[in-house]
Chain A
């Protein structure tokens, strides 16, 4: 893994999205959380984000985060990771993005 990525936050009906700025792949999750909160509408101070060490021991192996929407008392769109625009993730053509809800709202 190299380069930069963005976290994209779609609306619940997937009709629109907001997103973070480009984030270097090896930045600490605290910064990932910070830029997700700044870029994604309605999420400022309303998420917890932590690195999933069980998926990848190193940033170079891949990126994996859990996001808990602590301040959202409503369903939210399913976020996902996309390659950055000014410095795309390395080997971008072979990357596979995954996302799912591990604990549903309600």
Chain B
């Protein structure tokens, strides 16, 4: 983009950008599609030229001029306002399920069958190791919850282990009961999971 006071033949380059931006991105000050400040004289006429070479179609170009004047209300260097708006029910309760695996011997695999309340059909998980982590259980069953035919939701899974006497433990080898808490990340109404 070039500018000169009167003669287009002696124009000077103000700015240059070698690739595309999104539409009207000159609002973003960190883009190099914006020139440095140019001093103008009141009453003078100026010639401004912008050149644009289209690449693969669908292109367009826009030019904007901003004026630096310290006493101008709404100077373009002023920070743009950002607002946050939201609406929700703060008392919403997300569906949570619990799966208990008893008499764990930390060997072998098992599957989890989930009955879809919509059609009462069972969905079968992939193999889950007897000593599975919460992450492994999540990976094995998340396909059921994320399906469009069920909830279309991601899930979180937490695991708690218990000894034979009922006290909780972090000792994987000593634990005889694994409890997995499955929480939907999407708020649903009207259906439950068996």
Cβ-based interface call for A14 (8 A): no
- Scoring A residues 79 to 99 as 1 if CB is less than 8 Å from chain B, else 0, what string do you get? 111000000010100111111
Knowing that A62-B87, A69-B83 are A-B contacts, what are 12 other residue pairs whose CB atoms are under 8 Å apart, sorted by A's residue number?
A1-B187, A56-B86, A56-B88, A62-B86, A64-B87, A94-B89, A95-B88, A99-B83, A99-B84, A100-B83, A100-B84, A101-B84
B50 CB within 8 Å of chain A: no
Contact A99 B81 (CB under 8 A): no
The chain A residue with its CB closest to the CB of B73 is: A74
Whether B99 is near chain A, meaning CB under 8 Å from some CB there, is no
Identify the 5 closest CB pairs spanning chains A and B, nearest first: A62-B88, A73-B74, A64-B86, A103-B82, A105-B81
Q: B residues within 8 Å of A by Cβ?
A: 24, 27, 73-76, 78-92, 153-154, 185-188
Most A Cβ at <10 Å: residue of B74, B75, B88, B90: B88
Number of A-B residue pairs at CB separation under 8 A: 123
| B125 CB, min distance to chain A CBs, angstroms | 23
* A72 to B77 Cα, complex, angstroms: 12
User: Are B153 and A96 in contact, with the CB atoms below 8 A?
Assistant: no
What is the CB-to-nearest-CB distance from A71 to chain B, in angstroms, rounded to a whole number?
Answer: 7
Given A57-B185, A57-B186, A61-B186: A98 and B79 interface contact (C-beta under 8 Å): no
Q: How far is the CA of A63 from the CA of B75 in the complex (A)?
A: 32
Main DSSP-derived SS at the B contact region: loop
CA distance A71 to B27 in the complex (A): 8
Docked-complex contact B83 and A101, CB < 8 angstroms: yes
**Given known A-B contacts A1-B187, A61-B92, A61-B187, A68 and B80 have beta carbons under 8 A apart:** yes
**A–B Cβ pairs within 8 angstroms, 9 of them:** A57-B186, A62-B92, A64-B88, A65-B84, A66-B82, A66-B83, A72-B81, A73-B78, A98-B84
Query: Bound state CA distance, A78 and B81, in angstroms?
Result: 10
Q: Considering the complex, give the chain A residue whose CB is closest to the CB of B24.
A: A45
Docked CA distance A106–B75 (Å): 9
- Are the CB atoms of A73 and B76 closer together than 8 Å? yes
Report the nearest A residue to B153, measured CB to CB: A58
Contact assessment for A60 and B83 in the assembled complex, using a CB-CB cutoff below 8 Å: no
Bound-state Cα–Cα, A73 to B79, Å:
9
Measured CA separation A1–B188 after assembly (Å): 9
Asked whether A97 and B80 contact (CB < 8 A) given A58-B185, A58-B187, the answer is: no
Residues of chain A with a CB closer than 8 A to B187's CB: 1, 58, 60-62
**Distance in Å from the Cβ of A4 to the closest Cβ of chain B?**
12
Q: Does A75 lie at the interface of the complex (its beta carbon under 8 Å from any beta carbon of B)?
A: yes
